[in-house]
Amino acid sequence: MRLLIGAEPDQEFLLTQRLWRELERNLALISPRAQQMLERWSAFLRQDKVQVRSHKPRERGRVLHGKAYLLLGVPQFGDLGVIGSSNFTGAGLTANLELNAILKQQSATDALKQWYEAVWEKSEDYKQELLRLLTEFTDALHRKSDGATRRNGRART
């Protein structure tokens, strides 16, 4: 699996901050289930078969903004492509009012693959940075959860 993320060339910290805010917004309930989901996501990303890259445009203002998803070898369908407005976030994939098109024609999915490969080749590895961010967030959740447990424990005694 390959995940390609767009980033401003001179503002890479914004990507990290945006991901952090997305995690806080969607998982701030600090439930054990949320922690388990983050830990499973981190474990998935650590697999050798998963690659993550960040695309920084060579020209200022030409940010990778398009959203595309390729599903290869889908039983009974073959290759499928999805292009549209949905970000790869919980809200973008499940809650927001988004507009996407599913590509089924071989010529369309081939063109999408060619576009993706061209952008992928011009992108830099981002896997370790993403894993660092997820680790910091899960560590913060554990610290917050441990602190709440200790406070609740003191309140009872």
139 and 99, same structural domain? no
118 and 129, same structural domain? no
- How many domains does one find in the chain? 2
Q: Does 141 map to a domain?
A: yes
CB atoms within 10 A of CB 134: 20
Scanning the structure block, which residue is given the tokens 């063109």? 111
Q: Does 154 map to a domain?
A: no
CA angle 1, 7, 26 (to 5 degrees): 70
Q: Are 4 and 63 in contact (CB under 8 A)?
A: no
Q: Does 101 map to a domain?
A: yes
The pTM assigned to this predicted structure is 0.68
Closest among 144, 137, 76 to 104, alpha carbons compared: 76
- pLDDT of amino acid 29: 52
- Band the pLDDT of 156: cuts 50, 70, 90: very low
77 and 111, same structural domain? yes
**Predicted confidence (pLDDT) per residue in 85-100, tens digit:** 887 777 777 888 999 9
4 and 17, same structural domain? yes
What is the Cα 128 distance to its own chain's centre?
A: 13
Domain hosting residue 95, numbered range? 65-122
52 and 1, same structural domain? yes
Please indicate whether residue 14 or residue 2 has the higher confidence score (pLDDT).
Answer: 2
52 and 8, same structural domain? yes
Q: Does 47 map to a domain?
A: yes
40 and 3, same structural domain? yes
45 and 3, same structural domain? yes
Q: Does 97 map to a domain?
A: yes
128 and 106, same structural domain? no
User: Could you tell me where the DSSP H helices lie in 5-157?
Assistant: 12-27, 32-46, 90, 106-121, 127-156
- pLDDT of amino acid 157: 45
- pLDDT of amino acid 127: 92
82 and 38, same structural domain? no
Q: Does 152 map to a domain?
A: no
52 and 39, same structural domain? yes
Query: What DSSP string runs through 6-43?
Result: E--TT-HHHHHHHHHHHHHHHHTT--HHHHHHHHHHHH
